[in-house]
Structures are given as C-alpha cells and as structure tokens.
Amino acid sequence: MTLDRRALLASLAAAGAASVLRPLSPAGRGPIVTRPIPSTGEALPVVGLGSWITFNVGDDVDARDSCARVLGAFFQDGGRVIDSSPMYGSSQEVIGYGLAKLRRPSQLFSADKVWISSGARGPSQIEESRRHWGVPRFDLLQVHNLMSWEEHLPTLFAMKKAGRVRYVGVTTSEGRRHADMEKVMRSQPIDFVQVTYNVLDREVEDRILPLARERRIAVICNRPFRRGALIQQVARSPLPPRAGEIDCANWAQMLLKFIASHPAVTCAIPATSRADHVRQNVGAAYGRLPDETMRRRLIAYVQSL
C-alpha cells in the first residue's frame, strides 16, 4: 500500500485537534493493556521503564528526587516493569533510592542484568545489584548483551530453581549478535529476550520475534526511541492521520503503540528523566493498538519524514 503524504498531512488538523480536545488520562481509558509472559501467563503492561542514561545521575540529590518522581508517576499510571543493569553507572542505586521513597510499590516487576565477563563473579555482581535496588529478589535477571552467557545462564537457572529469581533471559541491542541470540533461544529454557525494536529498527521481525512466539519466550524491546533521536526526528511533523483512532495523543505514544502492537512483543522500555514524559509513555499502554494496516502506514509515514 502506498502512502499519500499530502493526504496524511491534510488530515493532521482533525487528528491533532481531536487529541487536544479529548485529553487522555489513565483513569478514563479503561484497563491498562497487558501481555502474558508465555512461560507462566503472568500479565505485564506493554510499556515499562528503562534506566539507561536517564537514571545515571550519581549522588545528585535533586536529580535523584526527580528520578523518584518519574518512578512515582510510572507506578501511579499503572507501570510495572523497570529495567536496569550494572553497566548503567548509578542507575541501580537511583532506582533503589526512588523505590525506598515510594515505600517499595508492590506492583514492581524488577528486571536487571548480569554484565561481567567472569562467570564466577556473576553471583556477587547480582547480589550487589539486588542491594542497590533494595529488593528481596529480582523478578527477571538477564545476561546483558549475551556477555559470557554460557557461564552465566547456569547460575541464573540455578537461582530460578532455588526461588531467588522468577524469570531468566538474555539481552542484546542495536541488532548485535542476533545469530547467538537465536542459538540461545533454541537451546536454553529462557523466559525472556530483550532486543532493539522500533518503527525504524525492525530486523528482529524477520527471525527473532517469530522464534520468540514459537518458543514461547517473552520479548522486551529496548531503544524504542533510538535514545531520543527518533522522537527528535518526528517531533516537528504532525501525527499520522487517524492517530486518534488508536488513542494516541503524541508521537511517543504512537511509536510505543507500534512496538506494543506486534503480537510477539511483551513490553517496550522507554527511558526518560521526566515525569510528564513517563506519563505520556505509559499512556501508550491504554486504549487501542494499531492493526497491521496502520502499522504499515506508520512505517511508511515515518520513513517519509
């Protein structure tokens, strides 16, 4: 299907005006959209929260308080999944700071990673991460960027068996090591994979996402906005026509709904340091999602910008 950009732009006013006149709030949009983790059926909201860069603020108390407000808004609007890594500087400590301020919300689904070349040092790194978060155990532990996965996965599976973590996964980003990821997905009883997926980076649609469905593996999508570059790229352009039909009030929601609408995707994890942005992001987990036709139109539209 070809896209008539002029027609799309012409319908901007209607779509944009509709979204402005009809402010959206979580309370007025029905239940949050969730997806089940295939291995257990546990439901997770389709939008979570990443912490790469945005939560690495060191010991800056003002910035930590700002991050705590982001967490507060995230939980208030129904968010659950928060993802971090030992690679992300002080992000784990800042998450722990925010969770303590919020009195450790019970809906938290904590996702962290092991990121160290030595398999023997994995457990101590995981324990340090757990202390930073201040949680009794992680819900999900992933091998970051598949680093030493052959050594770390047995540790994580043993932890799962002992009840010290609920789910096990592996991650990659920016399209790296997909062949290795496929190998792990085919050979290991993992619950989650984490990959880069957004309206422009869709390599995973070819093999990883279909394989995840086949193997009943949950999928977390990182870099949904290409570290903000994608938002900057589209921000000056009008929302696609019929954005209101899928309850989109802004580009962030449009881009997140695109990701969440893929049937293999469990959740996307945009990162932000602003409470108003996290509310926009979680807002994408409410209302309708685009169908296949609208997905194709959105791809064409963004590519045309």
Chain residues in the site for other proteins (CB under 8 A): 52-54, 56-60, 63, 87-91, 117, 145-147, 173-174, 176-177, 180, 227, 273
Nearest-approach distance from CB 29 to other proteins, in angstroms = 31
Kind plus residue range of the DSSP H or E element containing 132: helix 122-133
C-beta of 90 vs 188, nearer to other proteins: 90
C-beta of 4 vs 62, nearer to other proteins: 62
Nearest-approach distance from CB 240 to other proteins, in angstroms = 28
Nearest-approach distance from CB 63 to other proteins, in angstroms = 6
Tell the residue number behind the tokens 């279909």, with chain if given.
Answer: 210
> Do 178 and 208 form a contact (C-beta atoms < 8 A)?
yes
215: which 2 tokens?
Answer: 């193997």
- In this structure, the strands spanning 34-36 and 43-45 are antiparallel
Q: How many CB atoms lie within 10 A of CB 135?
A: 17
Nearest-approach distance from CB 217 to other proteins, in angstroms = 21
Nearest-approach distance from CB 56 to other proteins, in angstroms = 5
- In this structure, the strands spanning 34-36 and 165-171 are unpaired
176: which 2 tokens?
Answer: 């790296």
C-beta of 40 vs 124, nearer to other proteins: 124
C-beta of 150 vs 206, nearer to other proteins: 150
The angle formed by the CA atoms of residues 135, 215 and 36, to the nearest 5 degrees, is 50
C-beta of 44 vs 143, nearer to other proteins: 143
